Amino acid sequence: MARKGANRKQKRLSASRALFAMRKTSKWIMSTKPGAHPKGNSVPLGFALRELLNYAGNAKEIKMLLNSGKVLVDGKVRKGRNMPLGIFDVVELPEIEKRYRVLFDSKGRTMLKEIPAKGKLQKLCTVVGKHATKGNKMQIATNDGRSIAASGADGISVHDSLLIELPSQKIAAKFRMEKNSLVYIISGKHVNEHARILDVGESTMKRPKLVMLENESGDKFSTLAENIFVIGAEKPAIEM
């Protein structure tokens, strides 16, 4: 008889490199369910609360914390411990006035950095697709599974970034992937570095788009457009 569905269990040794966890302390680790972010570069919400933030000691405490409605992700209450957290997601605990943003460390592992708990809740998303709709409108698809309606005259392209207000999804600003834009590297040898775009190459049917960068140390290198995230013009548009 054929297997139905994916395996719900996950061994520590074969877990994604994005999980910042000890590999030989036990056999199993919390798995990620399908969601807004790919399994390879995300972590389960319950794992983040227990292993990265130390707000829970075991599965029972994770369940109690989440069921209480005191944990928000991108401005909305979330209760699923297997929900994937990905780049630039914001985890909030309003009761203790704590707010964290998902970033990567220098080895590509997911970490949660504390940011100011007061002020507008904003997030950067990168555009991964778009299509025209009626009335000169454009439906924008982002890297975190969002679908945002925008004017067809806004000139938003794939690989551009949008600064949105949460949870309303109102577009506050847009940043194009172009020369002199500031980017955050999310994959490869230079992961977790900030860099400035020197040149954006043209893609073809057989060749992906390459971007020439210069990091803060003055090193120049090229990488695929999918390995970078535009975060602003002169400085990062968000706390990170």
Rounded distance, CA 190 to CA 211, Å? 13
pLDDT digits (tens, 9 = 90+) for 64-120: 999 999 999 999 999 999 999 999 999 999 999 999 999 999 888 889 999 998 888
Stretches where the chain sits below pLDDT 70 are 1-7, 13-14, 21-22, 24, 152-153
**pLDDT at 24 (0 to 100):** 67
Strand partners, 195: 183, 215
Q: Where are the domains of the chain?
A: 1-119, 122-175, 182-232
The tokens describing 79, both together, are 């209760």
Rounded distance, CA 146 to CA 36, Å? 8
CATH for 122-175, options being 2.40.50.740, 1.10.3720.10, 3.55.50.30, 1.10.357.10: 2.40.50.740
CATH of domain 1-119: 3.10.290.10
**pLDDT at 2 (0 to 100):** 60
**pLDDT at 238 (0 to 100):** 92
CATH for 182-232, options being 2.30.30.30, 3.40.50.10490, 3.90.550.10, 2.40.50.140: 2.30.30.30
CA atoms within 13 A on the CB side of 90: 25
**pLDDT at 14 (0 to 100):** 66
Secondary structure of the chain as H, E, C letters = CCCCCCCCCCECCCCCCCCCCCCCCCCECCCCCCCCCCHHHCEEHHHHHHHHCCCCCCHHHHHHHHHCCCCEECCEECCCCCCEECCCCEEEEHHHCEEEEEEECCCCCEEEEECCCCCCCEEEEEEEEEEEECCCEEEEEECCCCEEEEECCCCCCCCCEEEEECCCCEEEEEECCCCCCEEEECCCCCCCCEEEEEEECCCCCCCCCEEEEEECCCCEEEEEHHHEEEEECCCCCCCC
**pLDDT at 7 (0 to 100):** 67
Say if residues 228 and 220 touch (Cβ distance below 8 Å): no
**pLDDT at 6 (0 to 100):** 63
